[in-house]
Structure formats: C-alpha cells, structure tokens
C-alpha cells in the first residue's frame, strides 16, 4: 500500500463528531445511557411513612413504564394551577423571562457539562413551555411557535431528569435582571412530581428518618447519646479536661441545633469538637436535643409542606425544654429554612426571648422574631468583645480558604461573620478569586438532595467550577484546607477536592475556632482537633 | 425557523397599512380606530395582567441576598444589595430598574503575567440593554411634540440635547443611533451567539424586529422621505384630545409606523414585554431581608401533619430510659 | 523543509482546528461558550482544553520524555471522565489531531519525505492515545475510591465507635 493511498483514506479517520442538533423542545432522554446523571427513586417504605402517593411497586428511571397514576396529567395540571394561584413568584417567573441569557453560563452544571438544558433559562423553560400551552392564549393557539409544549410522559421524565440536576443554589438569580429564581421553580416542579409519585430516595428517606427520629440518618436517641459521649471523650484526649454534653436538658438557656452529620460524619465531626470546646470554655448553659437532632431540613428539597412538617420540631422542642432561645450550627439549607421560612410557617414564639449573649450581653435584634441565631454571629460577637483567648498559630499547619455555602450567602447574606472569625483564628487565611466567592459563590454541585452515590459523575462535573477555583488557591497560595459552613458541603466537597484539587482537605469554621481557642486549665495542645500534630510539634505522639 | 416566522409576520404587518392606507376613506381606520383600540387593549391588558400577578400572594419572603446581611452593629451591611429596610429596597429597586444592576454583575477574570488575577467586565449585554431602553424612552418623550400643542418645554430641551453634536441635515438625533444600535446588538447576539440562538423563540425575535421596523420607518420619515409634520401633529393632537381628525396628505410610511406602534402596544400585555411591570413585583428583589426580625405572613399557611415529641417519646421511651435521658412520662414497668 | 518545521510554522492553525474538532463533541449551543469565554473560573472546560492542546502539541513536537505525559494529560481527561461520554468518545479526541494536521498540511503532503515523517508523527499520536487510555482508567479508578471514601466518611463515628470500645 503506497502512502499516497494511505493519505486518501484520511476520511476513515474522521470520527463522527456531529452533534445532536435537536431543538430543545424535544424531551426524549435515554436514561440507560445517562447513568451517573440521575438518582434512584424513593423507597416505598419511606413514602408510606410520610403518607406520600407512590406507585404499587418501586420503579427505576430506566424503566419504560414509571407506573404513573392514570390521571397523572390532571394531577400535575391541577397542581400547577394551584401553585400559580399560591405563589406570585411562579406566576411572574413564568411570564417575565425575556430569555436574555444572562443566567445561561452562571450554572455550575452548565459550565461543567455544556448541556444546554442546564442553562437556568432552559431549565425553567421546561416548565414554562407547558405553562404556555395550558394557561396562555398564544400558547394554545400557536403551540410550538411560541415555545408551548404539550405535557406528555417524555416531558414529565425530562422534568425528573433536569429538576433533579438543579441544586437550588440561586447563583443564576443573582445575575437575573428580573430576579427569576430557578430554585423556586425547581422546588415547585419537584412538588408536582412528588404528587404523581416521582421522587428520589436520597430525599424521601432522609425526610422520613428526620420525621421519625429527628435526624436524617435515623439515629435513635441512645445512638445520639453514644455519639456525643464519644465525641466528648475524643475532645478530652486533646484538651485533657472532661467535657459535659447536656442532652434534652430542661431549663437550659439555649437549645443548640446542628446538622446530624456533625456527630456522625467526617470532617463534620471536627466542627462538633470545636463547638464543644467553645461552649465549655465560655461555660454556656445549653442543651442538645435528640428530638430536634437535625438542623438540616431535607423537606426543602421535597416540598413546602414537608419543610413545615420537619421544621415544626424546632419550636416544639424549644418550648418543651423551656429554653430562652435557639442557636443554630454550621449548615446551609438548614439556615435557608430557619432564616426564610421558619417564622412564616410556625408563627410568633412568645415563650422564647430575643437572643442575648450571656457572655457579652449583646442582644441580637436581627433575630427578634425567630429567636434563633447563627453560631457564626454568636462567635463573631464573642471575639469582637475579646471574650475568647485565641492562638491562631495553632492553625499554622493550615492555609485555609473559605467557600461561601450557597444558602448562607444568597439567602441570608452571612458573608463577613465567618471571615471575621477566621481572620482571628488563622494566620494564613486566603481567598479564592472574587467571582467565585460571596454572593457569586459556586455550589459544591451536590446540594438540594443530590449528594448521593449513583450520580457521582454529575456531582463532580457540577463541582468543577468550585474545584477549579480551589485548585487555583492551592497552586497560588498553597491553600490546603477548604472551610465551609454547610453539612452538605462538608460531605461532598471532599470528593470535589480529591478529584479537582487533590491534597486539599475540607473543614468547618468552628474547627478552626476549636484549634485556636486557649482554654482555661487545658493541657498544652500537641495536636489539633483531627489528632494531627501542630506546627512545631510534629514530634508529638498522635492521640 | 423562529426567525423566519417572525420576519414573515412583520412583513405582513407592514403590508397591511401599506396596502390599506391607499384605499380611500379607510385612513380613519388606520389613523383613528386602530390607535384607539391599541391603546385600549394595552391599558386594559396591562392592568389585568398586573392584577393577575398581584392576585397570587407572596407566601414566603425569599429575597436573593447579594451582599452582607445586617446582623451585628459593627459589621457593615450592604443595604442596597441585601436590604434590611424599606429605604434599602427602594434603593435596590431603583438600581435594578434604572441601571440594570443585576446585568451589570457580569465579570470576567483574566490571569495576566505574574499570575495576577484581574477582573474585567463583559458588559455588552448590559450596555446594549441600557442603550436600547434609554434610547427608546427618550424617543417616546420626544414624540410628545406630536401630541401636545404647544410643544412642552421639556421636549424642546430634550431635542436640544439630542442634537448636541449638530451632525447631518436634518440634524441626526443621538437617540436614534443609540436606540438602533442597542436593538441591533440585541438581535445580532440572538443570531450569532450559539447558546442564545438555541434558546430564542419567535416571541424573542418578533418584538426586536417590530422595534426595528418602528425605528426604521421613523428614521425614513425624518431623514429620507419628507412627511407632512403639521398634518401628523394635527392627527396626534386630535387623538389625544378625543376629537380625532384625519388630515389629507399623510404618507403611507407614517401609517406603517403608526400601525407597527399599535401592534407593539397590543402585543405587550400578552408577551414577555410585560417584564416592564414584572421587574417591580419580583419577590426576590423587592422584599426586605428581615425575616428573622419581622414575621412574614403567608395567607394560605395551612396545617400539616407533624410528628410530636409525645409520639417520639412513646416510640423510643425504653431506649431513652436506657441511655439515661430525661423523660416526660416514665415507662409503665408493671406491664412488661 | 521537514515536517517538524511545518508543524512548528503552522501550529496556530493546527491547534485551532484541533480545538474546534474537540469542541464539536459538545452540544452546539455550548461550543461557543467553551471557546469564547476566556475566564478560567467561568469556563474551566474550555480553558483547560486550550491549555492541554498547547501542551500536548509541544510535547509531540519536542520529543519530550515520556514521564511527563500523564500529568499533562490529567487535567483535561479529568473533565472528560465525568462528562457524559462513552470511554471511546472521552479519549478519542486525541485522534482529531491527525485530522487537523492532515487538513492544514494538505498541500505539503505531496512530498514523500514529509509523508514518511507524518506516519512517524502519527505513530506518536497513537502512543499518546494509549497514554490517554491509562490516565482515563486511573481516573475511573479514582472515582471508585472517592465513592468508597465518601461512604467511609459518612459513617465515620460509627466505624470508630465499633472499633474502639474495649469495655
């Protein structure tokens, strides 16, 4: 064979790269080929426990038949009408989008995948097209020409696929000229899907567990006590002092609520040790609760109704224990609920008092109604008043950078408090680039109930923008720990970092506080809360 | 296809008055009847739409916070990005409505030599949006000279500013250039930015083409085909004072211009152009971020089934006892 | 003139075409975003790809030692591993370089010396593809490790409590 011929065969080398240039109104999805992108369906026992509708038997997204009720379309359309009448947000967001595209490249899933339907505008358009068909004159008359689509089973499946690819992080909403909030649309579509029995297990089982045992892992009261005692023992090994952990203590001044992962998972656990050390040092009269042993509200990822069902425990327990007010730990969506939904849902709490720091006397006017403050607000106030003795050099083995968790950033505006704390507890604090932090922070890619195993590829893809900024801080400043204030972040950012910025650990703000805190009567610290030797004490024995 | 569909519709809309205006006696239709209908449809449709939005309550207070909250007195809060009082909301809305604050957020990062990160802005969309909207606003205001006699003083003043550079004859209005450039950019990016093209519907191209049609006919009348301004003003003043007359000698171009404007007016209430009202009502922008200070009331805050502590203790009483936890009710030992 | 010189001279055009070919493995609406957005924080996919194309092209041109290659490949393959591609599609983009070179150098391929050199050069590309396969498989393996690590972290306290109670 001459090389002349050889070259003529060049066409054979051409790999077929023709894109599937379908227009977006085609809803078909090949679930089998898209493994790694979707989550398993809800377990029937969990749905039963919650009195939620579900099919006769468990279905899988790869099944042809999703076992929908016969009148599924009626249920969805009635549900949509009801929600249009109940939520001005929904009605406005259906009507006012001009498809300017400002949001298009703001979604971490779009940035990581290039999948057009991950552009917030199109994600919303999946619902908007059905809205047009059913509720607008133009849509009824002109159909596809005005972007109206019939609600069909493929459309429903497409909803399931894409609305469980949104982490409700609200980054797009920051850039939208009309404030259109895709999280709101995602929440409402998920509600509709749940009404015809479509849900994912990493949401409904944690919800059922939280409903029954108080926490999403289903840990029963004695398990909770064991974990806390175990943590107290660990802390004792580090500081050389006994630590008391009050649980279900009536008459305590403060009820302290944390996400349950704090006492079960790593690296959350070190933050828990940080809280315990802090409270011991300032002698806080507080109590944990086994009944309200989960701050995280998985109901937020399911429906407004479910938020309220789970959230009711907080005030009920505060009232039962007779505390004055509530303090909340580091968590993201937990704070979305506590800040934006709780008082509306549960009403005024006349039995509680406006939070007042027993140490500094500061009255937290910003929580006058809910009577619940964030631990970062509490600790920043302590530091400001000079009530804590801190030795930031104990964190010298860390070069921390701070990831603003989506909900505290974009649903509260809790931006400076954690930074203030970190600047007093660490010598080496560095920031990631501006357009990846604060209100422009990139999501971990696993929020809103997507932090599970079967969709790991999708999560890592969604975590790319965050991981990439971490990598930058690692290369540039030798950052070696990514701090955050969200239980989902702490659970899922380690995977993101292992993959995109190997070598960077993940931790919590109060872990750094616990490390730096000089406690009255403590032994000389040789290790940090992780049991790692402190800088300059590398020869010390690991405990 | 979306684009072609819109182009055809526009051409039809242009053809109607072009042909129609030539038919004797029918000028009243284009000069009086349709304008009144258009204004009526616009006003009624606009109000009904806003009422429809307003009818749906705002059950939760969910502002998007784009800056520091107000918490501790010594932490500086960003009242315009994350309002904690009414003044903050008003400021935020003004920035949003007058200066398109959110669109202005687009930034881009570049890493220059020496690994220094710098932030530039990609504000083309913002700039084009501002150019178009302000150009349009000024042009509309300028048009008051055709409806009000004598011409209001502010119009003269606007015209003076608009002619500031004294270029061309008749002197070119800056707003005409700015408006057409803005709309032109908005259309071009829909055609040439792949991702924007992908999301564009006929209802995105149509209003842009309609505006271009209106702008082009307006420009034709001012700079190229001379029209009888006195007659047009007579018509305009007549319309506004509800004593309409259709003077002789008004050219077809004018009727096309007027008809397209009427189409735009009638189209607004049924389309995304309602964003002009929607922007004021967006609950993620127009609410105070004071949820923990003041309770927001949800009118349909229904009761839900909850799991009470009593039920919880009933289920776990024995293990709680075993773990040494205090109980509200002691276990009934004798029953074991 | 030798192939090497041609590859050097026309490198911008070849790299550009290679980049375009790779980008076309993505949906059409995102090519342009990946291509035109130069901000590495807003567009890590596109920026990493451009950097990789640069470094791989130089690698092949300079006959650099093999041990550098995995680290060069890793950044972009990482992205392909978690994107929606079959394994062959995920790594096949390396072969598009052949197509790019042949298209851009079409006029120069009349000389049989150059053609001979081209075959050699293409053998280098094949070698690179095999390296890519190694990196790809390593990264898939990494995903499994991440999965198990995640499970372990999730039950951190339980595992430690089980292992540490002598009483």
* In contact, A276 and A245? CB cutoff 8 Å: yes
Chain B residue nearest residue C31, CA to CA = B194
- pLDDT band (50, 70, 90) for residue B120: low
Six token digits for residue C166: 């002598």
**Residue B109: beta bridge partners?**
B119
Q: Taking 50 as the threshold, does the pLDDT of residue A10 lie above it?
A: no
Per-residue HEC secondary structure of B62-86 comes to CCCCCCCCCCCCCCCCCCCCCCCCH
Residue B107: CB atoms within 10 Å: 17
Predicted complex ipTM: 0.91
Helix (H, G, I), strand (E, B) or coil at B152: coil
Closest CA to A336 of A328, A324, A346: A328
Give, as one character, the DSSP assignment of residue A405: -
**At CB < 8 A and 24+ separation, what contacts does B125-130 make?**
B125/A100, B125/A101, B125/A102, B125/B189, B126/B100, B128/B181, B128/B182, B128/B185, B128/B186, B128/B189, B129/A100, B129/A177, B129/B100, B129/B103, B129/B182, B129/B186, B130/B99, B130/B100, B130/B182
Closest CA to B129 of B201, B212, B187: B187
- pLDDT band (50, 70, 90) for residue C162: confident
The position carrying tokens 């567990």 is A209
Q: Taking 90 as the threshold, does the pLDDT of residue A307 lie above it?
A: yes
pLDDT score recorded for residue C107: 83
CB contact under 8 A, B306 and A312: yes
pLDDT score recorded for residue B192: 86
A99 contact residues in B (CB cutoff 8 A)? 196, 199-201, 204, 272
C132: closest CA of chain A, how far (Å):
17
Least confident piece of the model among A372-381, C50-59, C108-117 = C108-117
pLDDT score recorded for residue B227: 83
Any chain C CB within 8 A of the CB of A116?
A: yes
Q: Taking 60 as the threshold, does the pLDDT of residue B114 lie above it?
A: no
Quick one: angle between helices A201-213 and B309-322, nearest 10? 80
pLDDT score recorded for residue B13: 93
Six token digits for residue A105: 């490249």
d(CA A477, CA A193): 45
Any chain B CB within 8 A of the CB of C133?
A: no
List the single residue in A6, A111, A226 with the smallest CB-CB distance to C44: A111
Percentage of residues in chain C having pLDDT higher than 70: 95
The distance of Cα A488 from the centroid of its chain, to the nearest Å, equals: 5
Domains of chain A, CATH where assigned:
44-199 (1.10.1060), 207-516 (no CATH)
C156 contact residues in A (CB cutoff 8 A)? 264-266, 269
pLDDT score recorded for residue A2: 45
Q: Taking 60 as the threshold, does the pLDDT of residue B3 lie above it?
A: yes
B197 contact residues in C (CB cutoff 8 A)? 29
The position carrying tokens 């007093």 is A424
Selected residue with higher pLDDT from B123 and A317: A317
Six token digits for residue A431: 């920031």
Q: Taking 80 as the threshold, does the pLDDT of residue A69 lie above it?
A: yes
- pLDDT band (50, 70, 90) for residue A539: low
Q: Taking 60 as the threshold, does the pLDDT of residue A16 lie above it?
A: no
CB contact under 8 A, C28 and B198: yes
- CA torsion through residues C161, C163, C164, C166, sign: positive
Alpha helices in A87-181 (DSSP H): 88-96, 108-113, 120-135, 137-142, 153-163, 171-175
Residues 9-28 of C with CB under 8 A from B: 28
d(CA A265, CA A257): 16
Task: Please give the mean pLDDT across all residues of chain B.
Answer: 89
- Mean pLDDT value across residues B323-336: 79
* In contact, A480 and A505? CB cutoff 8 Å: yes
pLDDT score recorded for residue B108: 63
Residues 6 or more apart in contact with residue B333 via CB below 8 angstroms: none
C116 contact residues in A (CB cutoff 8 A)? 3
Residue pLDDT, tens place only, B158-214:
888 888 777 777 788 889 999 999 999 999 989 988 788 888 888 899 999 999 999
A192: closest CA of chain C, how far (Å):
28
- Mean pLDDT value across residues A183-187: 97
Residues 41-100 of C with CB under 8 A from A: 41-45, 78-79, 81-84, 92, 95-96, 98-99
C143 contact residues in A (CB cutoff 8 A)? 456-457, 460, 499
What is the value of pTM for the model shown? 0.91
Domain ranges of chain B: 2-68+131-270
Residue pLDDT, tens place only, C57-91:
988 888 666 667 888 899 999 999 999 888 998 99
- Mean pLDDT value across residues A122-132: 95
Selected residue with higher pLDDT from A357 and C5: A357
Give, as one character, the DSSP assignment of residue B297: P
C39: closest CA of chain A, how far (Å):
10
**At CB < 8 A and 24+ separation, what contacts does B297-305 make?**
B297/A344, B298/A344, B298/A345, B298/B57, B298/B59, B298/B60, B299/B57, B299/B59, B300/A86, B300/B57, B300/B59, B301/A344, B301/A345, B301/B59, B302/A305, B304/A305, B304/A308, B304/A309, B304/A312, B305/A51, B305/A309
Least confident piece of the model among A282-291, A356-365, B117-126, B139-148 = B117-126
pLDDT score recorded for residue B124: 86
CB contact under 8 A, B307 and A137: no
- CA torsion through residues A97, B206, B190, B96, sign: negative
pLDDT score recorded for residue C40: 82
Closest CA to B190 of B7, B34, B48, B17: B7
Task: Please give the mean pLDDT across all residues of chain A.
Answer: 92
Any chain A CB within 8 A of the CB of B110?
A: no
**Residue A255: beta bridge partners?**
A287, A326
pLDDT score recorded for residue A20: 44
Residue pLDDT, tens place only, A206-247:
999 999 999 998 999 999 999 999 999 999 999 999 999 999
Cis peptide before A485 (omega within 30 of 0): no
- pLDDT band (50, 70, 90) for residue A153: very high
Chain B residue nearest residue C33, CA to CA = B195
Q: Taking 60 as the threshold, does the pLDDT of residue A19 lie above it?
A: no
Six token digits for residue B29: 């239709």
Least confident piece of the model among A23-32, A423-432, B202-211 = A23-32
A4 contact residues in C (CB cutoff 8 A)? 115
Helix (H, G, I), strand (E, B) or coil at C48: helix
CB contact under 8 A, C40 and B108: no
* In contact, A490 and A261? CB cutoff 8 Å: yes
With 0-12 / 13-18 / 19 or more C-beta atoms within 10 angstroms meaning exposed / middle / buried, residue C110 is exposed
Q: Taking 70 as the threshold, does the pLDDT of residue A25 lie above it?
A: yes
Percentage of residues in chain B having pLDDT higher than 90: 63
Residue pLDDT, tens place only, A452-506:
989 999 999 999 999 999 999 999 999 999 999 999 999 999 999 999 999 999 9
Any chain C CB within 8 A of the CB of A224?
A: no
B115: closest CA of chain A, how far (Å):
8
Q: According to CATH, what is the number of the domain B2-68+131-270?
A: 1.20.950.20
d(CA B44, CA B57): 22
Chain C residue nearest residue B122, CA to CA = C37
d(CA B89, CA B94): 8
Least confident piece of the model among A159-173, A529-543, B34-48, B196-210 = A529-543
């Amino acid at each position: 064979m001459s090389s002349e011929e050889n070259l003529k065969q060049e066409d054979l080398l051409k790999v077929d790269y023709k894109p599937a240039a379908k227009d977006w109104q085609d809803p078909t999805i090949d679930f089998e080929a898209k493994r790694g992108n979707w989550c398993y369906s809800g377990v029937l026992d969990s749905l039963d426990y919650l009195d939620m509708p579900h099919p006769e038997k468990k279905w899988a997204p790869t099944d042809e038949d999703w076992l929908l009720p016969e009148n599924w379309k009626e249920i969805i359309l009635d549900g949509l009408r009801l929600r249009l009448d109940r939520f001005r947000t929904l009605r406005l967001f259906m009507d006012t989008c001009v498809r300017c595209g400002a949001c298009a490249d703001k979604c971490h899933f779009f940035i990581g995948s290039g999948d057009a339907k991950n552009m917030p505008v199109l994600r919303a358009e999946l619902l908007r097209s059905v809205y047009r068909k059913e509720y607008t004159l133009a849509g009824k008359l002109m159909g596809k020409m005005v972007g109206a689509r019939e609600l069909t089973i493929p459309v429903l499946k497409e909803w399931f696929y894409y609305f469980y690819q949104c982490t409700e992080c609200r980054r797009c909403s920051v850039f939208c000229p009309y404030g259109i909030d895709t999280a709101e649309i995602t929440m409402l579509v998920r509600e509709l899907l749940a009404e015809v029995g479509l849900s994912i297990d990493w949401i409904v089982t944690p919800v059922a567990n939280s409903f029954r045992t108080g926490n999403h892992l289903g840990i029963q009261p004695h398990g909770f006590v064991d974990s806390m005692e175990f943590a107290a023992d660990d802390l004792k090994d580090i500081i050389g002092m006994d630590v008391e952990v009050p649980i279900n203590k009536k008459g305590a001044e403060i009820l302290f609520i944390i996400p349950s992962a704090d006492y079960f998972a790593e690296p959350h656990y070190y933050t828990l040790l940080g809280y315990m050390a802090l409270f011991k040092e300032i002698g806080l009269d507080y109590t944990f609760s086994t009944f309200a042993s989960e701050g995280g509200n998985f109901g937020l990822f399911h429906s407004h109704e479910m938020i309220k069902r789970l959230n009711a425990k907080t005030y009920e327990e505060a009232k039962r224990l007779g505390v004055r007010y509530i303090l909340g730990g580091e968590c993201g969506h937990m704070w979305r609920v506590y800040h934006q939904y709780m008082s509306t849902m549960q009403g005024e709490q006349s039995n509680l008092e406006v939070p007042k720091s027993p140490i500094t006397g500061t009255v937290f006017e910003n929580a006058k109604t809910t009577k619940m403050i964030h631990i970062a607000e509490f600790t920043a106030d302590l530091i400001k008043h000079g009530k804590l003795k801190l030795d930031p050099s104990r964190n010298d083995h860390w070069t921390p950078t701070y990831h603003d968790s989506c909900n505290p950033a974009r649903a509260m505006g809790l931006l400076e408090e954690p930074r203030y704390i970190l600047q007093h507890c660490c010598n080496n604090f560095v920031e990631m680039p501006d357009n990846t932090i604060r209100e422009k922070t990139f999501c971990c890619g696993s929020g809103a109930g997507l932090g599970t195993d079967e969709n790991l590829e999708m999560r890592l893809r969604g975590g790319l923008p965050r991981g990439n900024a971490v990598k930058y801080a690692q290369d540039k400043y030798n950052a070696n720990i990514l701090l955050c204030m969200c239980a989902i972040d702490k659970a899922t950012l380690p995977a993101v970092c292992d993959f995109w910025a190997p070598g960077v650990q993940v931790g919590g703000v109060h872990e750094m506080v616990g490390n730096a805190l000089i406690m009255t009567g403590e032994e000389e610290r040789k290790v940090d809360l992780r049991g790692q030797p402190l800088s300059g004490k590398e020869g010390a024995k690991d405990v | 296809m979306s684009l072609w569909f819109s182009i055809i519709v526009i051409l039809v809309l242009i053809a109607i008055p072009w042909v129609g205006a030539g038919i004797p006696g029918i000028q009243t239709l284009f000069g009086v009847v349709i304008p009144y209908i258009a204004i009526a449809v616009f006003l009624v449709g606009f109000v009904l739409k806003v009422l429809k939005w307003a009818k749906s309550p705002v059950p939760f207070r969910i502002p998007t916070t784009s800056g520091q909250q107000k918490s501790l007195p010594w932490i500086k809060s960003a009242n315009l990005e994350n309002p904690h009082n009414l003044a903050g909301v008003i400021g935020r809305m003004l920035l949003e409505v007058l200066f398109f604050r959110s669109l202005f957020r687009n930034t881009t990062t570049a890493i220059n030599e020496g690994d220094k990160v710098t932030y530039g802005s990609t504000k083309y969309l913002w700039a084009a949006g501002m150019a178009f909207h302000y150009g349009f606003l000024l042009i509309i205001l300028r048009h008051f000279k055709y409806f009000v006699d004598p011409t209001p003083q502010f119009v003269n003043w606007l015209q003076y500013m608009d002619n500031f550079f004294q270029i061309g004859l008749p002197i070119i209005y800056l707003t005409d250039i700015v408006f057409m450039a803005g709309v032109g950019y908005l259309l071009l990016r829909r055609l040439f930015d792949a991702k924007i093209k992908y999301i564009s519907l006929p209802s995105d191209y149509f209003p842009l083409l309609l505006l271009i049609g209106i702008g082009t006919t307006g420009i034709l009348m001012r700079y190229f085909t001379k029209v009888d301004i006195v007659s047009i003003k007579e018509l305009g003043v007549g319309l506004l004072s509800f004593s309409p007359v259709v003077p002789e000698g008004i050219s077809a171009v004018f009727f096309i211009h007027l008809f397209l404007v009427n189409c735009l007016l009638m189209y607004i209430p049924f389309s995304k152009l309602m964003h002009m009202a929607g922007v004021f009502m967006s609950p993620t922008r127009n609410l105070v971020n004071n949820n923990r200070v003041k309770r927001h009331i949800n009118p349909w805050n229904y009761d839900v089934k909850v799991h009470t502590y009593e039920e919880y203790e009933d289920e776990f009483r024995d293990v709680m006892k075993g773990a040494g936890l205090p109980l509200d009710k002691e276990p009934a030992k004798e029953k074991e | 003139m030798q192939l090497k010189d041609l590859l050097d001279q026309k490198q911008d055009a070849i790299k550009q075409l290679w980049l375009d070919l790779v980008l076309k493995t993505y949906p059409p609406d995102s090519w342009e975003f990946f291509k035109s957005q130069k901000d590495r924080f807003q567009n890590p996919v596109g920026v990493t790809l451009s950097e990789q194309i640069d470094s791989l092209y130089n690698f092949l041109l300079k006959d650099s030692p093999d041990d550098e290659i995995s680290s060069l490949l890793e950044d972009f393959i990482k992205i392909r591993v978690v994107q929606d591609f079959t394994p062959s599609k995920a790594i096949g983009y390396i072969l598009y370089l052949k197509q790019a070179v042949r298209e851009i150098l079409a006029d120069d391929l009349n000389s049989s010396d150059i053609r001979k050199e081209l075959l050699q050069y293409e053998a280098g590309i094949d070698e690179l593809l095999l390296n890519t396969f190694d990196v790809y498989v390593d990264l898939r393996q990494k995903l499994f490790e991440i999965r198990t690590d995640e499970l372990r972290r999730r039950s951190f306290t339980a595992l430690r409590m089980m292992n540490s109670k002598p009483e």
